[in-house]
Amino acid sequence: MREIEVPLKLDRGAALPEYRSALAAGADLRARIDEPIVLEPGQRLAVPTGLAMAIPEGFEAQVRPRSGLALREGLTCINSPGTIDADYRGEIRVPMVNLGQVPVTIRDGDRIAQLVVAPVARATFLAVDSLDATLRGEKGFGSTGVT
């Protein structure tokens, strides 16, 4: 596993992203809010983290849901994975939605999402008249079966 340094600017009281196991790919992001937020079923909100970061050139940070939070509470990220570009310097906010049946309270310091830092490749896009043939071809959603 490759390790890189990511400079962070912290709001007072904000927590650093934290890996919770030795081989975790995602570091937990925590809510940084002054008072609890109640998300009603179907409600969406960008939850602040109190963090801004300088992601190194050639990398991105992906914001992803926490599986336990999604399963237990019905809370998930609505733009998932959300990409934080290397040139963004604003506060990281996590767009969340309550897909559950009951209101859910988010408190300061709650682990709300995971942050995965990953390398990126820039593509050069070329207009062509045709593409190479494959066995799958133009078959789309569900074309490889469900089992």
Model confidence at 125: pLDDT above 80: yes
Determine the average pLDDT of the residues in 96-114: 97
Query: CB neighbours (10 Å) of residue 47?
Result: 22
Q: What is the mean pLDDT of residues 98-115?
A: 97
Mean pLDDT of 131-141: 88
pLDDT above 90: percentage of residues in the chain: 81
Q: Cα–chain-centroid distance for residue 79?
A: 8
Residue 146 has a pLDDT of: 66
Q: What is the pLDDT of residue 147?
A: 67
Domains and CATH numbers, the chain: 8-119 (2.70.40.10)
Specify the pTM. Answer: 0.87
